[in-house]
Structure 1
Amino acid sequence: MDAALTAVVGTLLGVVATHWFQGRAAERTAALARTEQLRQERIAAYSTFAGEVVDYRRSQNERWFRGRLEPGSEEAEESRFASYRQRTTARQALFRVQLVCDDPDTRRLAESAFEITNSMHEAADDEERGRRSAEAKEALALFIAAAAPGVR
């Protein structure tokens, strides 16, 4: 009888231990899957944002040149409206970065890249426009440098 009781108790302990270890393994697997999904979402959000800011910077440069070379022309107005559309797209990409990024410094760098790009068309002359364009490019590079370690 003692041998049978020992066998039953041993079997029950084995079942409990197996259940506990399998539960822990499942939790680890789920956590790894969530982490990888967030990493992929960050890669997508950060790269989309960078691309949209580059396009926005280009459209801001075009808006500035068209506004100076052909003030009031149809082309100047179209480039202004194109920059508005690109600003909306870049802002949407910024919102996505803000949603998936948990580092406040990286979020601030993304916001700064957007804001610097947003003010490019206000340049008084070509020298200032060039400086603002270079600042926007540098601000985006700083964002990318700060965001990259979080997705590696």
Structure 2
Amino acid sequence: MDSAVPVLIAVLGTLLGSAATYLFQRKSSEQAENLAHQRQLRSERMAIYSEFAEAVTQLRRCQYNRWHSDQENPGNDATEAAVEARRLRGVAQHAVFRVQLIASNPALIESARSAFVAAADMHHASSSQQLRANGNDAGDSLEHFITLASGDVQ
């Protein structure tokens, strides 16, 4: 009987050690998985937010061309500039949808929508001064988006 006590203690110690090791490894594995998920999410957000900024910037640039083309050919919605503007509008709209799917902040989504609308509506300006003002507003909206997005990827 006296020899059974140390054996029992050794077996219990081994079982406790195994259980503790299992718990620590499980927690460590969960932490590593969570960290990998956070890194992947950050990477995806960086890509989507930068693609959105690029799409809006291209749309904004194209809207200047479209406005000037509209001034030269009033009422002609089939000009190369108008067709390109519609194509880039679709690209930018798609980028807005991607932002909506991945953003964690409703203000960021609203900022993306505002930047898109500001750029998409630039060509409705009645004068070159208004076009510049609309372009500046679109640029400011995009800058606001970038500021919010940078906080979302930290």
TM-score, normalised via structure 2 length = 0.94
CA distance in 2, matches of 1:21, 1:60: 58
What letter corresponds to residue 50 of structure 2 in structure 1?
A: S
Q: Which runs of 5+ in 1 are unaligned?
A: none
Deviation per CA, 1:104-141: give whole Å up to 9, x if none: 11111111000111111111111111100000000000
Per the alignment, residue 26 of structure 1 pairs with 29
Q: CA deviation at 1:84?
A: 0.4
CA distance in 1, matches of 2:118, 2:103: 20
Q: Given the alignment, which residue of 7, 12, 15 partners 1:9?
A: 12
Q: Given the alignment, which residue of 134, 143, 146 partners 1:144?
A: 146
CA distance in 2, matches of 1:40, 1:94: 17
Deviation per CA, 1:40-78: give whole Å up to 9, x if none: 00000000000010000011110000110233569x611
- 1:51-66 mapped onto 2 (5 Å cutoff): 51-66=54-69
Q: Given the alignment, which residue of 97, 100, 120 partners 2:122?
A: 120
What letter corresponds to residue 80 of structure 1 in structure 2?
A: A
CA distance in 1, matches of 2:36, 2:76: 54
The count of residues paired between Structure 1 and Structure 2 equals 151
Per the alignment, residue 101 of structure 2 pairs with 99
Q: Which runs of 5+ in 2 are unaligned?
A: none
TM-score, normalised via structure 1 length = 0.95
CA distance in 1, matches of 2:114, 2:132: 17
Deviation per CA, 1:57-103: give whole Å up to 9, x if none: 011110000110233569x6111010000000111111111111010
